[in-house]
């Protein structure tokens, strides 16, 4: 069989096939079965195309997955950075609000006692020794601060200026062992002298008359006796009362009104002139 005969046979078979397909379509159309035939062929083809499409989508997701994961990680990092920034701003606002509240209280304190001149100072240091209780403030000789000036906060008496430099000062706290302040119980009107305990941050009021009826939570203020502090500065409140070791006096443990660990701002009372009464401690000459 030569190639010409083979080509002629293929052509005749294609012609006959096309004629047969045309005849079949004509018959299906004439009998109204054309739609059924199309549906019969369409359903398997649709299923096969759906299965193929699902596999193609899954194959595409394999390559798209890492890219989507990296995008998600980047978005998470951006959101976390924004959260951190908002938290930092919130903390700064809370800090500013706290400072404004303290400054408002200091302003109110200054308005309550306008007869005394005060210089506002920041606390810039604290003595870490348990045996010496003091703070450092950022006001010194250049601002008119001198040794002996009383120091208070918006809550009460802090202490007394102990040393000065040109632009700073050391303040001996009322809780220090070396500190002594003539004080008075507001309700019972009994007087005594405070001294600091040092370690636990409390104050003891000694030399109280045995006749004084002291109440727990009674307010204690500076008495003004001795001329070293103005009268009426709040020291704290009584937490415990006990008889003195000699049995001649009472003593009271005082919780200071000032929280020294959280102290940020203080007032130095600059126009109070201490009165030297030491000359009267000497016995009169015969």
Q: SS3 for 42? A: helix
Maximum C-alpha span of the chain: 166
Tokens 């009271």 appear where? 252
118-272 topology per CATH: Thrombin, subunit H (2.40.10)
Task: Dump strand ranges (E) for the chain.
Answer: 118-126, 134-137, 150-152, 157-164, 169-173, 180-185, 191-196, 203-208, 219-222, 234-243, 250-256, 265-269
Would you say 219 and 212 are in contact if contact means Cβ atoms under 8 Å apart? no
- pLDDT of the residue at 38: 53
Counting every residue written for the chain, the total comes to 286
Q: How far apart are CA 266 and CA 135, in angstroms?
A: 10
- pLDDT of the residue at 79: 84
Q: How far apart are CA 149 and CA 118, in angstroms?
A: 10
Q: Which residues of the chain are modeled with pLDDT < 50?
A: none
Q: Where do the structural domains in the chain lie, given as residue ranges?
A: 10-92, 118-272
- pLDDT of the residue at 151: 96
What separation, in Å, do the N-terminal and C-terminal C-alpha atoms of the chain show?
Answer: 166
């Amino acid at each position: 069989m030569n190639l010409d005969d083979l080509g002629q046979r293929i052509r005749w078979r294609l012609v006959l096939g096309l004629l047969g397909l045309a005849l079949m379509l004509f018959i299906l159309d004439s009998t109204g079965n054309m739609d059924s035939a199309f549906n019969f062929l369409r359903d398997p083809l649709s299923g096969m195309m759906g299965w193929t499409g699902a596999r193609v989508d899954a194959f595409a997701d394999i390559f798209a997955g890492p890219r989507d994961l990296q995008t998600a990680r980047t978005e998470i990092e951006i959101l976390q950075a924004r959260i951190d920034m908002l938290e930092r701003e919130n903390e700064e606002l809370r800090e500013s609000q706290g400072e404004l509240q303290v400054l408002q209280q200091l302003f109110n304190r200054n308005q309550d006692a306008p007869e005394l001149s005060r210089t506002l100072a920041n606390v810039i240091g604290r003595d870490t020794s348990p045996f010496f209780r003091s703070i450092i403030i950022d006001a010194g000789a250049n601002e008119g601060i001198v040794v002996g000036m009383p120091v208070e906060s918006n809550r009460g008496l802090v202490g007394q200026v102990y040393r000065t430099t040109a632009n700073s000062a050391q303040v001996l706290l009322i809780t220090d062992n070396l500190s002594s302040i003539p004080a008075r119980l507001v309700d019972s009107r009994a007087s005594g002298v405070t001294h600091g305990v040092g370690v636990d941050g409390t104050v003891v009021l000694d030399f109280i008359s045995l006749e004084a009826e002291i109440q727990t939570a009674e307010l204690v203020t500076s008495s003004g006796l001795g001329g070293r502090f103005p009268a009426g500065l709040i020291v704290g409140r009584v937490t415990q009362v006990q008889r003195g070791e000699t049995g001649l006096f009472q003593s009271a443990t005082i919780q200071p009104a000032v929280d020294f660990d959280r102290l940020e701002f203080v007032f130095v009372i600059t126009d109070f002139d201490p009165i030297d009464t030491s000359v009267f401690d000497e016995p009169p000459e015969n």
